[in-house]
Structure 1
Amino acid sequence: MSNSGHIAVDVVGGANDEAERERELELLVSAGPPPSARILGILGRLLLLSRGRTVYAGTPAGLKPFFAEFGAPIPDNENPAEFALDTIREREAQPQGTGPLADFNARWQATHKAMDGTNAKRVSPMTLEYAIAESVARGKLVAGSGTGTVSELQMPTYANPMAVEVWVLIKRAFTNTRRMPELFGMRLGTIMVTGLILATIFLRLDDTPKGVQERLGFFAMGMSTMFYVCADALPVFVQERHIYLRETAHNAYRRASYVLANAVVSFPPLVALSVAFAVTTFFAVGLAGGASSFLYFALIILASLWAGSGFVTFLSAVVPHVMLGYTVVVAILAYFLLFSGFFINRDRIPAYWIWFHYISLVKYPYQAVLQNEFGGGATRCFARGTQMFDGTPIGGMPEAMKMKVLGAIGNALGTRMTSQTCVLTGADVLAQQAVTDLGKWMCLLVTAGFGFFFRALFYVVLLVGSKNKRK
């Protein structure tokens, strides 16, 4: 990766000392098509043969001064390797063959070895441009922006600052997203269809004990759906893995830049999805709290999508295959839902499983929406008078009998109970569901924090699990 001011050249082998230089790749070319200029730029050494004799051995950047001294200068904008092979083929067709070129190479090599052995100042007919190119190819200098000056700085590890890397990766990811709009369309369609189904099933829930149970089912289904929808992010890195490994192998960009760009690109679609689901369901279901409650509902959905996206992105770096990844995602999300507190209350979970309850991604958004709905104070009532008997054997008795039982309960408690006496408030619902350990804003922060946590794990996996930097 390069910008307008600097050019980074990666020599194969990344040699920084003599021991590493010994592992530089040699390209043996005797016939056939020459390597492209791009391939030529990443090679450390070239070995050109003709009829068993060496006609050139050195760096790619040394081709121009070599043929310039031989009397066949390489024209500008010409592929040096292609020119060299053409020259070799032309001389092979002549009576003398490539003997003069091979003899000149022997003298050239001897001259340069002698200069290196005596540590004398190298007197070379290379122009300043060729000298710079030679130094860049060896990884000692960075070519400037055309000012003609050379700064003897150490070759930087990366060609660009981190901000430039992130920006370029973001633009590339957005370009790929625009080329496949059907992916976002499928996610939006899934969210909208799910929202419409839930809105029509749980349409205008009433404030009764049955309405409470139906609200619990709506919240459990809605929050778990947010995480399952994020499973479509699994193939993204699995399919891009080979590209990522190839580019980071040559230090094209930092791993942290890739993680940041991935997070930035994935966030805007999550905002659209969260607003779409909130608009589709909040008012149709009849959730309480007005505008402030709606805003919080949209925020917790966004935090859930953010956490689910981070979780799936992390798994995509761990699992090697898409189908295996889907299996793992579905299984783990099912466990998260099981221990969220919907199927079994927190105070009923066995002690040896309680740890899973606290790492469940579904627990915190589920608890948050319950508190958003039922935490409005004692003014809202969900069971009055004989409604407390719904779902019990007494609920099937005549209304007069239920009133007598209600009066007897009131006498036992020392208070008068009528058909309008509130016996179940929102606070009572929260206590029954054992979701009073954390407030709704803390649940929102924890849910959002999971998103950052899993993206940090994603970076660690990339850092530890893909040590493919060329040596």
Structure 2
Amino acid sequence: MEEINQDNTTATNCTPARSDEPLVLSFIDLTYHVKLAKKRQLITCFRYRSDSSESGPTTMDSTKTILDSVSGEAREGEILAILGPSGSGKSTLIDALANRIARKSLDGLISLNGEKIDIEEKLKAISAYVMQDDLLYPMLTVQETLMFSAELRLPQSVSRSKKRERVSKLIELLGLGLVASAIVGDEGKRGISGGERRRVSIGVDIVHDPTILFLDEPTSGLDSTSAFMVVKVLQDIARRRSIVIMSIHQPSSRILGLLDHVLFLCKGTTVFDGPPASLPLFFSEFGRSIPEDQNRAEFVLDLIHELQSVPDGIKPLIEFKNSWLERRNAFHNGTSKSAHKRLLKDVIAAGCSHEKLNSYEYQKFANPWWAEVWILTRRSSVNTLRTPQLFLTQLGAVVLTGFIMGTLFWRLDGSPKGVVERVAFFTVAVSTMFYICAESLPTFLEERYIFIRETAHNMYRQSSYVISRTISSFPPLIVLSLTFALITFFAVGLAGGFPGLLFFMATILASFWAGSGFALFLSSILSHIVLGYAVVVAFLRFFVIFSGFFINRDRIPHYWIWFHYLSLVKYPYEAAMQNEFSDPNKCFVRGVQMFDNTPVEPYPYQTKVNLLTNISRSLRMNLTSTTCITTGPALLKWDAVTDLSKWNCLWTLVAWGFFFRFMFYIFLLAGSKNKRK
């Protein structure tokens, strides 16, 4: 098959080799440092002092070594387990091997069958990473979860029946046959057990049959039986020609018996590297024999903890490990070593023809974007239909708000007071739509880590996710808009007839569209639901203040006018106003109504008629009690809502919705790297 070169070109000069030779993932002298800024002491309001010196720069950076020249190898068909106390660098080493640390920050060499792995997409294509937490859609069944993963990870060249067959075999391999039709569940919805959920998480990431499987503490939080079953599944996966590398905190004796190779770390340094069966001999020669009735892993971890509690206490163990490896390598000189060299040479050649490294796996994504959109939309729709609480909550809020506003602003007349009340209705109506949209803020926050896990290994494009969310969330917006418009339009007595109703509904829909986009955008940059609600409420308050209702656009100071045009409430408010008051033949103030809302209003009707007659004589105009004083366009001009037409307001609101979704995509793109610096 074709081999991908470092310059992204292809070559076909691989020599065919036996496909039964094992793959070997080697790592040599992996070193990882992180910079630590020293604390600074405040001397005065303007001058700082470093902890280590009274002079010099205000900040001094030191480094901490997380991995210190760690070397080893993992072989196909075997499980390599990385052990060590908390803070020893287990997860960091897993991340380094899985290319989850920026290469500019990591020193050392990682190679697969002698070929340096410096093409990120190639490693993603042949590997999978299972996170410590079970990040799954709770309302999907086990079979649906694995099937959607198969559809996203396998190319279209694999038929749907073949994908179903692979999922069925995977369910059998994972021992999930009895719960295949059960929902996954979570803390709020009862589903499968914790051990079964962990196996589903593993299945999601191995449905495409990866060559290398990385797992970060897959037994964390499980009871001993569930943990053993998980590792037994991993052993079966490894025996099916995969390299399995996992970190584990404190394995039981039964689990230790399933491991092929263990690597113990202490403060980022290797203190043992070999098969578990070598542990008694190694520590016996070190002078700390392992009792036969004691868990070997627990003994080593306790010993490491004991030694590292003493300054330089771990140093003798490291020195002994180095000398022990030298003596072991010297023992294997000669025929055994030559045979090992020949084996590696064959293995390197076998890397060009290994049956798992199919050509399609080197593509960045398994499917075209439109197929990803279709699959993600179906998955989101299934999960949404089984969790209708959010939509029902929003629908209930819309119905209740519409009922209250419809009965409160019941059948408004065309008097000056009715005009004021109509304007107030529009302001409250459109601002309420944005507040209702804030209820969808937790949706993506709950999906954030699922999204990161799935896109970290190119399961799908970020753009496909944004488009699918847009498609799946749009039908509920239509229902909400139609419901609110039908409840309030006729109850309030708004103008325009059927065309006016359609435009009013379109305005409400555009408000929901922009508001949901704004909430979606905020969810990509905020990590906490409470913080998200606080930010949404704060922004909506400013949007209402600067919308033009409380203060006309013409009276907003020039240094604040920019926020008026950023206000999302401005555009639906002005669109609804123009839809209501744009008819030049409709009069809203006639004759003595001009005195409404003034100090003259309480006076008798005849007094106001006489005052109107005097004004008519002074202005030399024929003003009677039926003369139209103010039309709808005059009201719009008075309220300064004529700078944009109602259609321009509507399209601007739609554009804001697209803009926020585009920014949502940009922040997803920037935030889904999932790499340490």
**TM above 0.5:** yes
Give 1:107 deviation, angstroms: 5.9
Give 1:109 deviation, angstroms: 3.1
Give 1:21 deviation, angstroms: 8.3
Alpha-carbon deviations, 1:311-344, whole Å to 9, x = none?
A: 0000000111000000000010010001001111
- Write the letter of the residue equivalent to 1:401: T
- Write the letter of the residue equivalent to 2:355: I
Distance in 1 between residues matched to 2:577 and 2:626, nearest whole Å? 25
- Write the letter of the residue equivalent to 1:18: K
- The match for 1:297 among 500, 504, 507 is 504
Give 1:89 deviation, angstroms: 11
> What residue number does 1:228 align with?
435
CA contact (8 A) 2:411 2:493 kept: yes
Alpha-carbon deviations, 1:273-307, whole Å to 9, x = none?
A: 00000000001100011000000000010000000
Distance in 2 between residues matched to 1:389 and 1:422, nearest whole Å? 13
Matched, 1:142 2:340: no
- The match for 1:131 among 345, 348, 354 is 354
Matched, 1:112 2:343: yes
> What residue number does 1:148 align with?
none
Distance in 2 between residues matched to 1:189 and 1:413, nearest whole Å? 54
Distance in 1 between residues matched to 2:455 and 2:635, nearest whole Å? 53
- The match for 2:618 among 403, 409, 412 is 412
Alpha-carbon deviations, 1:39-71, whole Å to 9, x = none?
A: 6835279xxxxxxxxxxxxxx999869xxxxxx
Matched, 1:194 2:194: no
1:239 to 1:61, Cα distance in 2 relative to 1, 3 A: closer
3-state SS in 2 of match to 1:463:
helix
- The match for 1:43 among 184, 204, 212 is 212
How high is the TM-score relative to the length of structure 2?
Answer: 0.53
Give 1:256 deviation, angstroms: 0.5
> What residue number does 2:463 align with?
256
> What residue number does 1:352 align with?
559
Distance in 1 between residues matched to 2:405 and 2:212, nearest whole Å? 61
> What residue number does 2:379 align with?
172
3-state SS in 1 of match to 2:410:
coil
CA contact (8 A) 1:288 1:373 kept: yes
> What residue number does 1:5 align with?
none
CA contact (8 A) 1:204 1:284 kept: yes
Distance in 2 between residues matched to 1:260 and 1:453, nearest whole Å? 13
Give 1:266 deviation, angstroms: 1.0
CA contact (8 A) 1:374 1:426 kept: yes
> What residue number does 1:306 align with?
513
> What residue number does 2:633 align with?
427
> What residue number does 1:327 align with?
534
| Alignment length (residue pairs) | 390
Give 1:159 deviation, angstroms: 1.1
1:108 to 1:255, Cα distance in 2 relative to 1, 3 A: farther
**Please, which runs of 5 or more residues in structure 1 have no aligned partner?**
1-10, 28-34, 46-59, 66-80, 91-101, 144-154
3-state SS in 1 of match to 2:506:
helix
1:114 to 1:464, Cα distance in 2 relative to 1, 3 A: closer
Alignment of 1:451-466 (within 5 A): 451-466=657-672
CA contact (8 A) 1:12 1:42 kept: no
Distance in 2 between residues matched to 1:445 and 1:42, nearest whole Å? 50
- Write the letter of the residue equivalent to 2:378: K
Give 1:393 deviation, angstroms: 1.7
> What residue number does 1:386 align with?
592
> What residue number does 1:447 align with?
653
- The match for 1:436 among 642, 645, 660 is 642
**Please, which runs of 5 or more residues in structure 2 have no aligned partner?**
1-96, 101-109, 130-198, 215-236, 243-256, 262-274, 278-331
Matched, 1:20 2:118: yes
Alpha-carbon deviations, 1:78-129, whole Å to 9, x = none?
A: xxx97989xx999xxxxxxxxxxx9998565321344589xxxx5x7x9x9x
> What residue number does 2:27 align with?
none
CA contact (8 A) 2:259 2:276 kept: no
3-state SS in 1 of match to 2:634:
helix
Identical-pair percentage: 47
Matched, 1:399 2:617: no
- Write the letter of the residue equivalent to 2:406: A
CA contact (8 A) 1:406 1:417 kept: yes
Matched, 1:208 2:415: yes
1:105 to 1:169, Cα distance in 2 relative to 1, 3 A: farther
Task: Answer 1 or 2: which has greater helix percent.
Answer: 1
CA contact (8 A) 1:13 1:44 kept: no
CA contact (8 A) 1:307 1:450 kept: yes
> What residue number does 1:368 align with?
575
Distance in 1 between residues matched to 2:498 and 2:342, nearest whole Å? 84
- Write the letter of the residue equivalent to 1:459: Y
1:276 to 1:392, Cα distance in 2 relative to 1, 3 A: same
1:391 to 1:160, Cα distance in 2 relative to 1, 3 A: same
> What residue number does 1:3 align with?
none
- Write the letter of the residue equivalent to 1:169: L
Distance in 1 between residues matched to 2:516 and 2:569, nearest whole Å? 13
1:12 to 1:343, Cα distance in 2 relative to 1, 3 A: same
Task: Answer 1 or 2: which has greater strand percent.
Answer: 2
How high is the TM-score relative to the length of structure 1?
Answer: 0.75
1:466 to 1:225, Cα distance in 2 relative to 1, 3 A: same
Alpha-carbon deviations, 1:354-410, whole Å to 9, x = none?
A: 110000000000000000000012x11111111100121222222222112111111
- Write the letter of the residue equivalent to 2:342: T
1:470 to 1:115, Cα distance in 2 relative to 1, 3 A: farther
> What residue number does 1:243 align with?
450
1:415 to 1:249, Cα distance in 2 relative to 1, 3 A: same
Give 1:179 deviation, angstroms: 1.2
3-state SS in 1 of match to 2:629:
strand
1:420 to 1:105, Cα distance in 2 relative to 1, 3 A: farther
Give 1:426 deviation, angstroms: 0.5
- Write the letter of the residue equivalent to 2:341: A
1:62 to 1:279, Cα distance in 2 relative to 1, 3 A: closer
CA contact (8 A) 1:251 1:469 kept: no
Measured on the aligned residues, the alpha-carbon RMSD in Å equals 3.6
Give 1:265 deviation, angstroms: 0.9
CA contact (8 A) 2:456 2:672 kept: no
CA contact (8 A) 1:238 1:321 kept: yes
Distance in 1 between residues matched to 2:619 and 2:396, nearest whole Å? 54
Distance in 2 between residues matched to 1:243 and 1:440, nearest whole Å? 41
- Write the letter of the residue equivalent to 1:132: E
CA contact (8 A) 2:211 2:241 kept: no
Give 1:186 deviation, angstroms: 0.8
Distance in 2 between residues matched to 1:314 and 1:366, nearest whole Å? 22
Give 1:350 deviation, angstroms: 1.0
1:108 to 1:328, Cα distance in 2 relative to 1, 3 A: farther
3-state SS in 2 of match to 1:396:
coil
Distance in 2 between residues matched to 1:64 and 1:212, nearest whole Å? 77
Alpha-carbon deviations, 1:107-158, whole Å to 9, x = none?
A: 65321344589xxxx5x7x9x9x8322x34xxxx237xxxxxxxxxxx1111
Matched, 1:341 2:548: yes
- Write the letter of the residue equivalent to 1:291: F
Matched, 1:317 2:524: yes
Distance in 2 between residues matched to 1:227 and 1:64, nearest whole Å? 54
Distance in 2 between residues matched to 1:197 and 1:354, nearest whole Å? 33
Distance in 1 between residues matched to 2:260 and 2:347, nearest whole Å? 25
